[in-house]
Amino acid sequence: MSALRSGLTALRRWSGQALDERNRRRDGREALLLLVTAAFIFSNAIAFSLLRESAVTWSHLYAPVCWLAVVSIAHLTIRAFRPMRDPFLLPIIALLAGWGLLLQDRLAPNFLGRQTLWFALATAAMLIVAIVPRTLQPLMRYRYVLALGGLVLLAVTLLFGVNPSGSGAALWLPIPFPFLKTVHFQPSELLKLLLVIFLASYFTEQEPIHRLRREAVHENGEKRRFAIGAFLRHLPFLGPLLIMWGFTMLLLVWQQDLGAAALFFIVFVALVYLATGELIYVWSGLALLLLAGVIAFFAFDTVVAPRVLSWLNPWPNVSDRAYQIVQALYALAGGGLLGQGIGQGFPDYIPVVHSDFALAAVAEEWGLIGSLAIVACFAVLAGRGLRTTLLAIRGTQPKFFHAYLGAGLITLLSVQAVLIMGGTTRLLPLTGITLPFVSYGGSSLLISSLVGGLLLYLSAAAEPAPLIPPADRGLARRLQRLGVILLIIFSIVAITLTYWAIIRSDSLLARQDNPRLVEAERRVQRGRILDRNDIVLAESPVTTDRLARTYPLIEAGPVVGYYNWRFGSAGIESAYDAHLRGQDGDRWEQTLGNRLRRELLHEPQVGGDVRLTLDTSLQSAAAALMAESDATGGLVLLELTEIGGEAVAKVRALVSLPSYDPNLIDEQFETLSVGDPGPLFNRATQGLYQPGLILQTPIIAMAIESGKMRWQDALVDPTLPVIVDGQVQRCAISSDEVNARPQTWSDMARIRCSQPVYALGNRLGATALDTIFDQFGLHHPPALEIPTNGNAATTTDAGMAAIGQASLTVTPLQAALMTAVLAGNGRLPHLQLVEAISGADGKWIVQPIDSASPSIPVISAETAAAARAGWPEASGVLEFPVTVLSGPSGHRNSWFLGMAPATSPRFVVALVLEDESNLSVAEYIGQRILNLATEP
């Protein structure tokens, strides 16, 4: 007998030691999780303080310090009084609540102190609920009193309720409170907890009776699945419940708290299924919920209808009723995988973000990882809570009230979280409820903490008896199914978050109505545009507003273009946008290793510089000369050189009139866009004009090059008129001067008569003329970094085409290239406007000439020299000025082609002035700019 007593004593001692060891492991696990949580909270708080204040300040640390103190007290208290509690519950609640405080500091700092105090009070309430009660029997005994009290409180809100914001549904009761002056409490938050307690208590008491009645029905052989019969059998069981539930829903709908009504309905259906096991109630509940949604859509057209329409298709109403949800989706996309970092995102664009869209703020600043962590927290909370409910119905003394209560509380938290997360991700319509523990709101935080306290109590009261089968196997299976369903729903939410943050991210971020486009631009330190001597043509000053783009030389507008976040870009700003932003291929590859560091540290993205061949002094002079003419037109000045044995024409000046000031594009864009074409149209590279007799030298040179005639061949009747659209085309000088002596083809540039070229064109034929035009680059747009134009029209009337009065039209840039063939060695040169770009290391990378497409030999160097030898010389400039008939209206344009120095041309210019019959104006401009270009 003594041996038996000794054995029992040893067994008790061993059991006690094993239990103590499990408790120590449980305490250690909880402490470790809380330490990790504290590290997360404090690291983010310090980072945010450094970001905003450039120092660690108390204004950003007092909330985390209070959080740490409260959580530490909670851990030590719960450890002492509830050693058997679930070690995961408190860390999850602490993480979500601490994250919520971080969000308040970030999004609504004026509410941070109030929310911190609410957190302390809510945690104290949680500890009271978790520790003080010895049993939950009073909740069962007084369930009707509790439910009735909640309903009365809700009814009082109908009479005396207010809305703290001053507009919207009056769902809050003002209550005087020490230190907080007036506290606004939302009774519907308390009511949902009281109704869960009521339902759990009711099912615990009535479910055995219902089970006996159901078993009796089975024994009598009645069909269990007949819907009406099932309802009639369950009516005595469900009748009081339906009355209480119906009254609650009526009050909530009357108060227009539709989110809470939907939440109650779903929780009610879930608990009815757990108690009865009848799927008919689940399907009927879903049908009723859908029907209620349809009715609410039409009955509450100012509340429900806009939310449903915005959910179905928000994009047509981005700036109106769908603004909130669309901005939330932009936030999800803006966060990407890693997030912008606390204080670095733009969740402030979402109205009421600190309350209704906390998940969107988390997703933008902590990325997909952060938002999935929130989902995971609720999923783990649901899993651990349902584990507690399963343990409650095992063992020698099953606690069905604990099981129903735990399942109801978990369903309540999970459904509430899913409703708001689904609304944020456009998985569900918006309901207006808050994210438990995270969103701003004292009422919500207090009730959620009370739920957490009850879960802690239930987990501590549940005996871990995994080898003992559950007292009700059917209920255990239904609880497991509920857990699987919740896990699937949370997985769907996680997949939806991934869809918006990763798959749809690029398309959402590129939408023009996304305000984050502007904010992204502010973070780019756009590169400079320089002239050949590194004089700044465009830059972004280092200011808080990096959108500011300045253009010191407004005369360079036609080349440099403009950059504007509203109206886009043009010119070099557009052509080299990727490089100026730091996103071009080579630069992007070289800095790929630093991208992660830059994104994590939020360093500004620095773009590369672009150096042009443009010469600031020549560009200013050319623009001033053209402006003096008070005419519309374009000018191109090229410098001829060789790079790697290839003929190259560098653009030294390019003018288009009328022009614009790129610094004023934001204010004047709409005005500048009026007209066809307007000032934004580049007449130097895109304006197509009748060429007239500027084609004669290339045609004559090609005819001589092919051996069809010689320079010294005499002209036949050069003064004969040519009629074009009723207008008589005569020589540039008087007929008497022409007829004073015999004229040859070498004199054509001086006398500029139409008849000899007209006859030559007919002699050569349309095909030969098209070949000449093509070889001189007149049939295709020149290859340049900024937009160019060309006319590929084929010749039908050879004579008219030869004198430039057919379908062929050319730009000043094409005319300049054609002149460059004559001024150089007879080859069509490569155009160069961009000389170099800066590399990732800051060194210049000279832009290569396309060696795969060599400069095209058009005529021999000798023929080119002979052709330009016939051009008149004035002020050291070889020139070819001519007026050209432009259309049947009789308007004339003035063309000027020139090259200098006369002995060995290095610069060529081509300019056209619209509706300018005074040729001397064009001559003065051309001569002057060439003289300036050749000055030492």
Q: DSSP letter string over 22-82?
A: HHHHHHHHHHHHHHHHHHHHHHHHHHHHHHHHSS--HHHHHHHHHHHHHHHHHHHHHHHH-
Amino acid at 883: T
Read off the amino acid at residue 305.
A
For residue 308, the model assigns a pLDDT of 79
Q: Is the per-residue pLDDT at 229 higher than 80?
A: no
Residue 330 maps to a domain: no
User: What band does 153 get if pLDDT is binned at 50, 70 and 90?
Assistant: confident
Based on the fold, state whether residues 679 and 809 are members of the same structural domain.
yes
Q: Which two tokens stand for residue 664?
A: 């004023």
- The answer to whether position 842 is within a domain reads yes
Q: Are residues 688 and 597 in the same domain?
A: no
How confident is the model over 12-35, as a mean pLDDT?
75
**46 CA to centre of own chain:** 28
CA geometry: angle at 438 spanning 435 and 441, to 5°?
Answer: 80
**Among the ranges given (123-127, 467-471, 620-624, 792-796), the one the predictor scored with the smallest mean pLDDT:** 467-471
284 compared with 684, residue with greater pLDDT: 684
Q: Specify whether the CB–CB gap between 735 and 719 falls below 8 A.
A: yes
Q: How far is the C-alpha of 169 from the C-alpha of 257, rounded, in Å?
A: 8
Q: In the β-sheet with 844-846, what is the strand arrangement from edge to edge?
A: 536-538, 529-530, 610-612, 834-838, 844-846
How confident is the model at residue 822, as a pLDDT? 95
Q: What is the CATH number of the domain that holds 588?
A: 3.90.1310.10
Among 87-91, 651-655, 726-730, 836-840, the minimum mean pLDDT is found in 726-730
804 class by beta-carbon count within 10 Å (0-12 exposed, 13-18 middle, 19+ buried): buried
Mean pLDDT of 43-66: 92
Question: Do 906 and 877 reside in the same domain of the chain?
Answer: yes
Burial 183-212 (b: 16+ CB within 10 A, else e): bbbbbbbbbbbbbbbbbbbbbbebbeebbe
Quick: pLDDT tens for 560-588. Answer: 999 887 788 899 999 998 898 887 655 44
- Give dist(CA 724, CA 887) in Å, integer: 9
- Amino acid letter at 711? W
| Cα–Cα nearest to 766, from 800, 727, 736, 726 | 800
Contacts of 390 (CB under 8 A, 6+ apart): 403, 470, 476, 479, 480
Identify which of 572, 620, 524 has the alpha carbon closest to the alpha carbon of residue 836. 572
Check residues 496 and 284 and name the one with the higher pLDDT: 496
Other Cβ atoms less than 10 A from the Cβ of 39: the count is 10
Residue 905 lies in a domain: yes
Residue 739 CA to residue 718 CA, distance in Å, equals 9
Considering only residues 410 and 249, tell me which one the structure prediction assigns the higher pLDDT.
Answer: 410
CA–CA separation, 836 and 283 (whole Å)? 70
Question: In which band, very low, low, confident or very high, does the pLDDT at 526 lie, cut at 50, 70 and 90?
Answer: confident
Tell me: pLDDT of 625 over 70.
yes
DSSP state at residue 902: S
Domain-embedded: residue 813: yes
Region of poorest pLDDT, from 45-59, 171-185, 303-317 = 171-185
Instruction: Classify residue 809 by its DSSP letter.
Output: -
Rg value, the chain, Cα? 42
Residue 211 confidence (pLDDT): 55
Query: Does 319 reside within a domain?
Result: no
User: Across 108-212, where does the E strand assignment appear?
Assistant: 173-177, 181-185
pLDDT, tens digit (0-9, with 9 covering 90-100), for 628-666: 988 899 999 999 999 888 899 999 999 999 999 999 988
- Domain contains 215: yes
514 neighbors 521 (Cβ within 8 angstroms):
no
If asked whether residues 593 and 638 sit together in one domain, one would say no
The pLDDT confidence band at residue 529, using thresholds 50, 70 and 90, is very high
Euclidean distance between CA atoms 366 and 376, whole angstroms: 14
- List the structure tokens of 827: 């080859």
pLDDT of residue 437: 94
What is the percent of the chain with per-residue pLDDT over 90, rounded to a whole number?
A: 49
Same domain (yes/no): 295, 208: yes
pLDDT, residue 588, reads 46
- 370-374, 400-404, 600-604: segment of lowest average pLDDT: 600-604
Span 151-170, mean pLDDT? Answer: 66
Of the three residues 285, 300, 315, the one that is the final residue of a domain is 300
**String of DSSP letters for 522-584:** HTEEPPPEE-TT--EEEB--SSS-TT--B-S-GGGHHHH--EETTTEE-HHHHHTHHHHHT-S
Q: Which of 582, 612, 642 is the last residue of a domain?
A: 612
- The model's confidence at residue 222, banded by pLDDT at 50, 70 and 90, is very low
Question: What integer pLDDT is reported at residue 54 of this predicted model?
Answer: 85
602, 625: one domain: no
Is the predicted pLDDT of residue 449 greater than 90, yes or no?
A: yes
pLDDT tens-digit series, residues 161-206 = 666 655 555 566 677 766 556 677 677 778 888 888 988 888 887 7
For residue 74, pLDDT beyond 60:
yes
pLDDT bracket for residue 156 (50, 70, 90): confident
Overall number of domains in the chain: 3
> Which pLDDT score is estimated for 51?
86
Over range 725-729, report the average pLDDT.
Answer: 85
552 shares its domain with 699: no
Instruction: Quote the tokens at residue 459.
Output: 């987990």
What is the pLDDT, as a whole number, of residue 599? 58
Confidence of residue 225 (pLDDT cuts 50, 70, 90): very low
Q: What is the dihedral of CA 126, 127, 131, 132, to 10 degrees?
A: -80
Question: Which of 612, 628, 657 is at the close of a domain?
Answer: 612
Asked whether residue 713 falls in the same domain as residue 657, the answer is yes
Between residues 93 and 316, the one the model is more confident about: 93
Lowest average pLDDT, out of 195-204, 493-502, 583-592, 612-621, goes to 583-592
CA separation for the pair 681, 678 (Å, rounded): 6
Task: Give the CATH number, domain containing residue 759.
Answer: 3.40.710.10
Higher pLDDT, 762 or 3: 762
Residues 543 and 648 placed together within one structural domain of the fold: no
Query: Per the domain annotation, does 817 fall within a domain?
Result: yes
> Tokens 């970001």 sit at which residue?
51
**Average pLDDT of the chain to the nearest whole number:** 84
The pLDDT assigned to 162 comes to: 64
Q: H helices of 776-918, where?
A: 798-802, 812-823, 861-869
DSSP 183: E
Find the mean pLDDT for residues 523-531.
88
Residues 748 and 836 both lie in one domain: yes
User: What's the pLDDT band for 816 if we cut at 50, 70, 90?
Assistant: very high
**174 and 275 share one domain:** yes
Per-position DSSP letters for 869-897, written without gaps between them:
HTS-EETTEEEEEEEEE-STT--EEEEEE
Residue 208 has pLDDT above 70, yes or no: no
Q: Which ranges of 659-727 would DSSP assign to H, the alpha helix?
A: 665-673, 696-705
Structural domain of 913: 619-934
**Is residue 317 pLDDT above 90, yes or no?**
no
Q: Are residues 795 and 910 in the same domain?
A: yes
Residue 2 lies in a domain: no
User: Coil, strand or helix: which one is 860?
Assistant: coil
